[in-house]
Amino acid sequence: MSLALLVPIVIIIVSSVTYHVSLKFASPQTNPALAVFVAYLVALMGSAVLFVLYPLKHHIQQEIQHLNWANVLFGLTIVGIELGFLLAYRAGWNVNLAPLIANLMVALLLIPVGLLLFKEHLTPINMAGIALCVVGLILVNVKG
């Protein structure tokens, strides 16, 4: 696997693990809106630093013209994910199951989206993997 393929996945994995651990350690006394607000202030600063790595190719006004509704929806969904996991952990979800269940369900719901909207294809091996995910989702939810 090339470094160009590996680096983004490593960033996702490290960031996701750190994300869930930090949310699990978040003080239950902190107002959820304030917790998300502070997280986004830090994210805003981190995003500003990213301009060093990914400088604008054109003037900011030209770059802004490339934004569309998807960017706004992306921002709203991030807030929903942050708040959802924060509240899930406060409600008692385990850090080893909440993301697993949520991400498996998201992956399963994205299958028809990929097929219908993006004309993606599934191989028989993919379908076998999906079946295993469904079985895994059932098994992790069995109280035993």
Q: Could you give the CA distance from residue 135 to residue 86 in angstroms, rounded to a whole number?
A: 27
pLDDT in tens, 22-66: 999 999 999 999 999 999 999 999 999 999 999 999 999 999 999
Q: Could you give the CA distance from residue 130 to residue 124 in angstroms, rounded to a whole number?
A: 10
Residue 97 DSSP one-character state = T
**Nearest by Cα to 74 from 49, 43, 112, 31:** 43
CA 82 to chain centre: 9
Please enumerate in sequence order all residues whose Cβ is within 8 A of that of 133, keeping only pairs 6 or more positions apart, or say none: 104, 107, 108
pLDDT in tens, 90-140: 999 999 999 999 999 999 999 999 999 999 999 999 999 999 999 999 998
- Global pTM? 0.86
